[in-house]
Amino acid sequence: MDKMSEEVKPESLSLCPLGTAAAPEPELLCIFGTGDLGRSLGLRLLQAGYRVVYGSRRPHSCGPLPQGAQVMSHVAAAQSAPLVLMCIQRDHYDFLETLAPQLKGKVLVDVSNNIKKNMYPEANAEYLQRLIPAAKVVKAFNTLSAWALQNGPSDANRQVFLCGDSKEAKQAVADMATKLGFTVLDRGSLSVARELEDFPLQLFPEWRLPLRVAVGLTAFFFFYVVLRDVIYAYVVQGKDISFRIMVSLANKVFPIVSLIMLALCYLPGVVAAFFQLYRGTKYKRFPNWLDRWMLCRKQLGLLALGFAFLHVMYTLIIPIRYYVRYRIAARTISDIRENRTSEFDSTSAWRTDSYYSVGILGFATYLLLGITSLPSVSNALSWREFNFIQSKLGYLTLLLCTLHTYLYGWNRFLYPSSYKWYTPSAYQLCLVLPSAVLVLKLLLLLPWVDRSLTRIRQGWERKTDPEEASTGLLLT
């Protein structure tokens, strides 16, 4: 009986379910540096399922670190993990030479940045590769902030740029970044590291030209209206109306600049269309100035929307201004004293109501253009929907705003008093560019012009050689 029980009794008892294996141990990664970026990156790695070990000069007094991370000396930490993230400044790279044997064959991820451009003769990542030639250096994560790493990727900072000379090393870093929830963009070899290191140092590079245009237009028209209104009234009429600079003149300048900048958004597209019609092909590059102009159209439009918003806000406070309330009260008292009654002018009523109505509609479409330019909104639109809003609705906005300005001027251009010191009004000057853009766009919409432009944009090319032209005609 005992012998039978010994034969039936199993040798061992497994508590794991049948058909399952023990879970593999999470991958261990090393981080050099216990600053804000190192702690934030370590926290994200722990949340993504990695094991993290920190390398520090003072393992026992390096400050608070994410719960679950280990702290060792640089030598021990470098030996324990195949991938090391360098969250330290370039000034402290010298000690790494003594760790060359431990870092041999390891993937070193350089996340450092400088405080200004061209601070060193070579990129930090290239310098690190020169210090540890046996390691595989990858430049990555330097365009992300500690805040972005702590709070997770968002639309504005979900991209991780990387570069390096080893495909295997870049793939390892890309897999890690993807697991953290970021989108990886491979920029090529390690020679591109300087370009990546310059990214965080750029201050609104795409906004510089639009801001210069906005400042230039604002300054020009501000001094122009001050000259025609304030200085003219003081010199010719002996009146001091300088108080109007703060609201009245500002409310003239803002809509003028807004309309001109809106026209500048759509003028390069019209110019590009005429270039293609003239050349008979879409495969020739545009001039550099036109390329740069077209790339900053979004910024021009957003600045134009900002000036339009200022115009709306300034217009809303007009009824509560002291000067306006004083003028209304003085005119009312004068009419009462002289027993005078103003007759209702139907034409003026139509003009003012049309002026305000068109302005409101123009500002509404303005806002729609601005909203659809947001990445979170534009990403939800198809290309046809986005093109319809930014092109068709954009030209409608330009038309409404231009009509709004024409209704504002009405027939004032016929009065000699409008030409102070023989200069046209500011609103007349601002109508030149948007009117020209609308006329040119109408020319492009002519059936035979639109048909030719559509064929060119679909790939058709005009042949200049007679034999090629006849062949092209036969083929088409």
Whether residues 181 and 271 fall in one domain: no
Q: Amino acid identity, residue 51?
A: R
Identify whether 7 is part of a domain: no
Question: What is the pLDDT, as a whole number, of residue 344?
Answer: 87
Per-residue burial over 54-90, b if 16 or more Cβ lie within 10 Å, else e, is bbbeebeebeebbeebbbbebeebbbbbebbbbbbeb
* CA distance linking residue 372 with residue 391, whole number of Å: 12
Question: What is the pLDDT, as a whole number, of residue 435?
Answer: 97
Whether residues 242 and 376 fall in one domain: yes
Place of tokens 């201050």: 203
Question: What is the pLDDT, as a whole number, of residue 11?
Answer: 42
Taking only the tens place, the pLDDT of each residue in 32-72 is 988 889 999 999 999 999 999 999 888 887 778 899 999 99
Taking only the tens place, the pLDDT of each residue in 300-318 is 999 999 999 999 999 999 8
Identify whether 95 is part of a domain: yes
Identify whether 474 is part of a domain: no
Question: What is the pLDDT, as a whole number, of residue 374?
Answer: 85
Whether residues 196 and 233 fall in one domain: no
Q: Look up residue 260 and give its DSSP letter.
A: H
- What do you get for the CA distance between the two ends of the chain, in Å? 98
Whether residues 218 and 186 fall in one domain: no
Question: 52: which 2 tokens?
Answer: 């993290």
Whether residues 285 and 392 fall in one domain: yes
Question: What is the pLDDT, as a whole number, of residue 384?
Answer: 86
Question: What is the pLDDT, as a whole number, of residue 157?
Answer: 58
Whether residues 189 and 217 fall in one domain: no
* Structural domain boundaries, residue 121: 28-201
Contacts of 342 (CB under 8 A, 6+ apart): 335
Whether residues 87 and 194 fall in one domain: yes
Question: What is the pLDDT, as a whole number, of residue 17?
Answer: 53
Question: What is the pLDDT, as a whole number, of residue 2?
Answer: 46
Across the chain, which has 476 residues, the per-10-residue mean pLDDT values are: 43 47 78 90 92 89 86 92 94 90 94 89 94 95 82 64 95 94 92 91 86 96 96 93 93 96 96 94 92 93 96 92 89 87 87 94 94 84 86 94 95 89 94 97 94 91 59 42
Whether residues 188 and 217 fall in one domain: no
Contacts of 173 (CB under 8 A, 6+ apart): 83, 107, 109, 138, 140, 162, 164, 184
Question: What is the pLDDT, as a whole number, of residue 390?
Answer: 86
Whether residues 56 and 188 fall in one domain: yes
* CA distance linking residue 96 with residue 76, whole number of Å: 13
